[in-house]
Structure 1
Amino acid sequence: MNWYLKVLKQYADFSGRARRKEFWFFNLIHYSIFAFLIFLIFFVSDNFEKDPDTILFVITALYFIATLIPLLAVTVRRLHDMGQSGWWYLINFVPYIGSFVLLIFTCMDSVSKPNKWGDNPKGKNNFNAIDQIGKE
């Protein structure tokens, strides 16, 4: 849950890097909440045989709209972690293969060295942290 809250705290922060753990835990919780809200709509409307409660549609829509920017931001930061530009997110709009390529990108391991978007968030091979030893 902490990873989910961390991403929400960085609401529109498209700079920096995001670990795989941060990206996937946010997506897991985000889509679980979204699926639960859809289930509630389905359950309340008796398999859509009667009109579902409008308030549930509004809550689901508001949740989706409110978390759309953090979802984009964590994906861009995940791309930065692999040394790719955030503009690679647009490959998602290529029919059939775009979303698959983006999935492969988000599953790849991060660049172990610092890159132009910041230090390695894992801390492993974080050369800037090693350089700071003894300078405190």
Structure 2
Amino acid sequence: MPASVRSAGRAPAPATPAPTLTSVTTLPAETDAARTDPLAHDAPLPGATVRQAVQRVTRRATVFTGRASRSELWWVVLLNALVWLGAGALTVVAARIGDAIRPSRSSDLGLSPGPVLGVLIVLALLTLYVLVTLVPLFAVSARRLHDANLPAWWLLLAVVPGLGALALLVLLALPSNPAGARFDRASTERAPVEGPAST
């Protein structure tokens, strides 16, 4: 039987995958180090899943050294946005339920206490949530800036009225830069200072 007929029944050889943006912008050693211990390493974890991103942000909630990949930051930002949307919907529901419970009573301002109480409870819970997540969000944002080889001081753009927050979003979306390794804990530790030699 000719070779062309024999090979016609076989499946074609799988094509080699095309390089992705992650494989181009991340050094293989960094990726391997982050994959072997994805929760306790200064190297970013490209392509982090939602669970990995939340675990890394939670376990490194107050760590401002090291780096974080874009996926680590943006998964957490997305989850925060969903919590805020849920809180907004819950505020509307709490106001409607409170209005249905006590529709006849009104204060001097024309507001019934039922909806106000429901909204205040939701706002109190949301304030507690913000207080719990504020420092971890700043920490992962600082590490994300480090991954783009920028100092964390750029986070101060968030307080600039107008375009400051937009400029910060652009900086947080920058791709990884291998030179950002200078912000890792090992590279920021200084050698002990030796005093004058005694004779």
With structure 1 as the length reference, what TM-score do the two structures score? 0.78
- Per the alignment, residue 24 of structure 1 pairs with 74
Aligned-residue sequence identity (percent) comes to 28
Write out the 4+ residue segments of structure 1 that deviate beyond 4 Å after TM superposition.
none
1:95 to partner: Cα distance: 1.8
Residue of structure 2 aligned with 1:43, choices 61, 82, 93: 93
Pick from 117, 127, 152: which aligns with 1:86? Answer: 152
**Residue of structure 2 equivalent to 1:131:** none
> How much does 1:72 deviate?
0.6
Larger radius of gyration: 2
Distance 1:40 1:62 in 2: 15
Give yes or no for contact 2:149–2:179 (8 Å, CA) kept in 1. no
Gaps of 5+ in 1: 120-136
| Cα contact 1:41–1:52 (8 A) shared by 2 | no
Q: CA deviation at 1:71?
A: 0.7
Instruction: Please state if 1:15 is matched with 2:65.
Output: yes
Larger displacement relative to structure 2 (104-113 or 19-28): 104-113
- Check whether the contact 1:38–1:60 (CA below 8 A) recurs between aligned residues: no
With CA pairs under 8 Å and 6+ residues apart, which has the higher RCO, 1 or 2? 1
Equivalent-residue separation in structure 1 for 2:159 and 2:182 (angstroms): 26
Alignment-derived partner of residue 56 in structure 2: 6
Using the size of structure 2 for normalisation, the TM-score is 0.55
- Deviation at residue 51 of structure 1 after TM alignment: 1.7
1:37 CA displacement: 1.9
Match of 1:70 in 2: 136
RMSD: 2.1
